[in-house]
A and B are shown apart, each in its own frame.
Chain A
Amino acid sequence: MKNILLLVGSPRKEKSTSNSLGEYLLNEFKDEDFNTKKVFLHYKKQIKKQEILDNIDWADLIILSFPLYVDCLPADVIKNLEIIKDEYNSNQNKYFFAISNCGFPESHHNNTALKICKQFAIEMNWEWRGSLAVGMGAAINGSQLIEPKGMVKNIIQELDNVYDKLAHTDDLIKGSAAPSIPQWLYILMGNMGWRYQALKNGVWNELKDKPYKK
């Protein structure tokens, strides 16, 4: 295993928590002289489809990092997985690992989406290497993960653990982590954050509007 491909499944691309998590893991591979590439799965031009298929062909290990949308993978990620399933026909053995992050405090909200990723790997005849479920993704908010300290200490420690297993063992990985923040504080900060943004946008009083009520 020498070629590692990161697929980032967030429309927020470089600014996303999916990118932060995937990039940290990818850099660990890079530091140990693996070949690495990164591709964003939200794109407009049809030409990108072939680029993705070519990169899949190049890769030995594919890491998919995405945000949880409605208990599942974002639509554009599903579209790409459908394309890969329909159009990538090689029998080469590949390894597949998935990272899902959600805005909820509990990381287990990601479990159904990660099982869908496992099912994709099964249907591709790829080897499922496991997953990492991340809660409180909003606390990372797309920031670069550098050192295992502060509220991201748990996350970085778990990513280091994932890297070690992915790069040096055949173990099936079932990781989960969330920033070290009490649940009540995360919820309080989140609720204040939404209100602050609404205030800035001049819609404080409309936050709970019901535009579609008949």
Chain B
Amino acid sequence: MNALLFNGAKADDEYTNNIGKEIIDVGNKEGWEIDSIILRDKKIGPCRGCFNCWVKTPGQCIIKDGAQEVVQKIVNKDLLIYLTPITFGGYSYHLKKVLDRSIGIILPFFRKVKGEVHHKMRYTQYPYLLGVGIDYSDERNNAQLFEKLIERNSLNFEVDGFESMVIRPDTNKEDIQSELIVSFRNVGETV
């Protein structure tokens, strides 16, 4: 079982980076091979909104930088893990810059999923999503909003189900490990 970990932490965010190590550790023990990418180290520019990844170089962004190497890994994995400090309930800039540049892995055409319109799939299979959000605030809406965003993103991949967990700096290590084990096992049963 192969997983890809997108680490969207800033350089000085030691806690999120340590959680990244914990995810790899727990995942490896549960039988997952995890490819971890520290996104802040990748030179990835913003999406230009040109849609050339759909109509000029189908499936690939026309901007030549660090994004292609990262994005092409997505479609060949069983599990995609988003690790991010929760930013106003959503993703950090470092995580989002890659997601924006990855729309070429789906098609421009529309289909209906659960009664609403989404894009059609370019590939036959996409990874299951596990969102791990680090919540530094006391904002009670953050966890709910983060989970909703993961759910919405998983619909784009036409994957039935998703895993989401929110960790606060005062969450104890055993609880984090237990929750990660459950998530890895839940996904393991579906792939």
Question: A interface vs B, CB < 8 Å?
Answer: 10-12, 16, 42, 67, 69-76, 78-79, 81-82, 85, 104-106, 108-109, 112-113, 115-117, 119-120, 122-123, 183, 187, 190-191, 194, 197-198, 201, 203, 206-214
Residues of B within 8 A of A115 (CB): 89, 141, 145, 148
- In the complex, how many angstroms separate the beta carbon of B144 from the nearest chain A beta carbon? 9
Residues of A within 8 A of B92 (CB): 78, 82
- In the complex, how many angstroms separate the beta carbon of B33 from the nearest chain A beta carbon? 15
Residues of B within 8 A of A116 (CB): 88-90, 145, 149
Tell me if B75 counts as interface (CB < 8 A to partner A).
yes
Q: What is the count of residue pairs linking A and B with beta-carbon distances less than 8 angstroms?
A: 156
A54 to B181, CA, bound (A): 47
Residues of A within 8 A of B152 (CB): 71, 112
Residues of B within 8 A of A213 (CB): 75-76, 123
Closest to B116 in A: A106
A211 to B56, CA, bound (A): 13
Contacts A119-B145, A120-B88, A122-B141 given; 18 further ones with Cβ under 8 A?
A: A72-B99, A78-B91, A78-B92, A106-B117, A108-B116, A112-B148, A115-B145, A116-B89, A119-B90, A119-B142, A183-B117, A187-B110, A190-B110, A198-B58, A203-B56, A207-B55, A211-B59, A213-B76
SS class, residues of chain B in contact with chain A: mixed
A78 touches B59 (CB 8 A): no
Residues of B within 8 A of A16 (CB): 49
Contact residues, B71-104 vs A (CB, 8 A): 71-72, 74-76, 87-93, 96-97, 99-100, 102-103
Partner of B90, one of A42, A78, A109: A78
Residues of A within 8 A of B15 (CB): none
- In the complex, how many angstroms separate the beta carbon of B89 from the nearest chain A beta carbon? 4
Pick 11 A–B contacts, CB within 8 A, sort by A.
A16-B49, A69-B47, A70-B100, A190-B108, A191-B110, A197-B56, A198-B56, A207-B107, A209-B58, A211-B58, A212-B76
